[in-house]
Amino acid sequence: MKPKIVIFDLDGTLIDCTDRYYQTYRDVLHQYRLKAPKKEELIKLRRLTGMSTREILSSYLIPRDLKKRDELVPEIAEKRIVMFEDWTYLKLDNTFPGVEETLEKLLGMDIALMLVTARRNRGNLIRQLEEKDLEKYFGKILCRNEFRERSYTILPVL
């Protein structure tokens, strides 16, 4: 049976955000005069553990003996999350090879496409999709804020 709709995530699924991921950690840690790990180490850590930004900072990147550490972890985590959606860093992303062809093929099979993302900044989300020429493929685009603000569920969309 052919699906009626396919729901995609954006970061790490359609778009390679590895450079943005690393650069935001490096830059936010630099602001606090903390040392960032090598890119390969940070990417490996994220993939192996699946930890959140706060967990990675707390467990691996912020020294345990640092004064006011308990206050700094959430502060640095929030700054990094905001940076992650800043246009300066979004420009580092690339569409994975074959994404547009795959989306075209699905649309050609009369399958509706939906994008659901944990991103908060809808304006920069749409701007990036337009820049990458991906917006045209999706009948519905939902970001994190829309789920929280409207108690949105996917079922009515289906």
Q: Among residues 126, 31, 115, which one has the least CA distance to residue 87?
A: 126
Distances (CA, A) of 133 to 9, 49, 51, 59, 64: 16, 32, 31, 38, 44
Q: Could you confirm whether 70 is annotated as catalytic?
A: no
Catalytic residue among 9, 19, 86, 93: 9
**Cα 111 to Cα 128: distance, rounded to the nearest angstrom:** 23
Q: Which residues are known catalytic residues?
A: 9
